[in-house]
């Protein structure tokens, strides 16, 4: 069964304190792994798609990496505006069903 | 502006009273999907549609119906809502083929069934 597990459930950082969020996945065949950001009361907002092990993508203070079993979202020198829930999801090779993890709630204190 | 819209945004209803949540996208996307989001469980897929008149079940389809008569619209129907369908619902769309396969999400509909 396809499954996505994110850890930790919640993470509290001081402004400037770098850290990483983890996304472990099992899928029959990976077509893509996605990271989304979700602010309270809003729909998820797309950040990255990763397709194969070894791939990396960056956007401002965020960097996503992918291995055959997990993905990491590295946050470098976070700011309070980075506070949000970060969601990981996988799309299987059928290309039609997306499985989401439960998310990591990130709090960045000034 | 490219967007996915949902209506209503908030709805309080009673058990057994049929309701429809509308979803519309203006990006000419082939693929549309409905999710529910519950604390600790993340987003779970209810139904998806590959194109007009083509729909399929996601992971939690029980108690829901959908239709795709037009490419831009994908309504979610609850024929006889029950309290366990109280949740936050999101509609999403994406293009098939090319790009990052990213989904564009609507703003959400918060449903309470009493």
Average pLDDT score over residue span B84-89: 97
Domain span holding position A30? 3-109
**Number of Cβ atoms within 10 Å of the Cβ of B9:** 13
| Residue A43 in contact with partner chain B when CB distance is under 8 A | yes
**A108, A82 Cβ separation under 8 angstroms:** yes
Q: Which residues of A touch B101 (CB under 8 A)?
A: 31-32, 34, 49, 91, 95
Q: What per-residue confidence (pLDDT) applies to B40? A: 84
Q: Do A98 and B33 touch (CB under 8 A)?
A: yes
More confident residue, B80 or A94: B80
Beta-strand relationship, B109-113 and B10-13: parallel
Task: Please count the residue pairs, one from chain A and one from chain B, whose beta carbons lie less than 8 angstroms apart.
Answer: 58
Average pLDDT score over residue span A23-41: 93
Cβ within 8 Å of residue A5, ≥6 positions away: A23, A24, A25, A101, A102
What's the CA gap between B42 and B64, in Å, rounded?
18
Kindly state the percentage of chain B with pLDDT values over 70: 98
Tens-digit pLDDT profile for residues B52-82: 999 999 999 999 999 999 999 999 999 999 9
What's the CA gap between A44 and B67, in Å, rounded?
23
| Residue A66 in contact with partner chain B when CB distance is under 8 A | no
| Residue A110 in contact with partner chain B when CB distance is under 8 A | no
Q: Taking a contact as any Cβ pair under 8 Å apart, which residues of chain B between 70 and 109 contact chain A? A: 90, 92, 96, 100-108
What's the CA gap between A82 and A87, in Å, rounded?
13
Tens-digit pLDDT profile for residues A44-59: 999 999 999 999 999 9
**B43, B35 Cβ separation under 8 angstroms:** yes
Two tokens, residue B61: 């389809």
For residues A56-88, one letter each, b for 16 or more C-beta atoms within 10 angstroms of the residue's C-beta and e for the rest, the string is eeeeeebbbbbeeebbbbebeebeeebbbbbbb
Sequence-ordered alpha helix ranges (H) in chain B = none
Average pLDDT score over residue span B85-107: 90
Q: Which residues of B touch A96 (CB under 8 A)?
A: 31, 48, 50, 56
Question: Which band of pLDDT confidence, cut at 50, 70 and 90, is reported for residue A29?
Answer: confident
Q: Indicate the range of A7-16, B44-53, B96-105 predicted with least confidence.
A: B96-105
What's the CA gap between A75 and A17, in Å, rounded?
9
- For residue B97, pLDDT beyond 80: no
Average pLDDT score over residue span A64-76: 97
- H/E stretch holding A21 reads strand A19-26
Provide the CATH number for the domain around residue A55: 2.60.40.10
- For residue B98, pLDDT beyond 70: no
Q: What per-residue confidence (pLDDT) applies to B41? A: 86
Total domain count for chain A? 1
Distance from the Cα of A72 to chain B's closest Cα (Å) equals 18
SS3 B20: strand
Q: What per-residue confidence (pLDDT) applies to A54? A: 96
Angle made by CA atoms B4, A83, B9, in degrees to the nearest 5: 30
């Amino acid at each position: 069964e396809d499954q996505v597990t994110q850890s930790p459930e919640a993470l509290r950082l001081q402004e400037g304190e770098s850290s990483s969020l983890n996304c472990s996945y099992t899928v029959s065949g990976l077509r893509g792994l996605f990271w989304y950001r979700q602010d309270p009361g809003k729909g998820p907002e797309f950040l990255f798609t990763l397709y194969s092990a070894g791939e990396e993508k960056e956007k401002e203070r965020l960097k996503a990496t992918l291995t055959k079993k997990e993905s990491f979202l590295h946050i470098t020198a976070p700011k309070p505006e980075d506070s949000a829930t970060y969601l990981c999801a996988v799309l299987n090779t059928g290309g039609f069903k997306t499985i989401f993890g439960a998310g990591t709630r990130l709090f960045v204190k000034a | 502006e490219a967007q996915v819209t949902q209506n209503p945004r908030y709805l309080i209803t009673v058990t057994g009273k049929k309701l429809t949540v509308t979803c519309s996208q203006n990006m000419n996307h082939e693929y549309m999907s409905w999710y529910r989001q519950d604390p600790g469980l993340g987003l779970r897929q209810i139904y998806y549609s590959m194109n007009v008149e083509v729909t399929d079940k996601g992971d939690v389809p029980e108690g829901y119906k959908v239709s795709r008569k037009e490419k831009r619209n994908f309504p979610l129907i609850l024929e006889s809502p029950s309290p366990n369908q109280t949740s936050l619902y999101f509609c999403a769309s994406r293009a098939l083929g090319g790009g990052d396969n990213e989904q564009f999400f609507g703003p959400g509909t918060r449903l309470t069934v009493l």
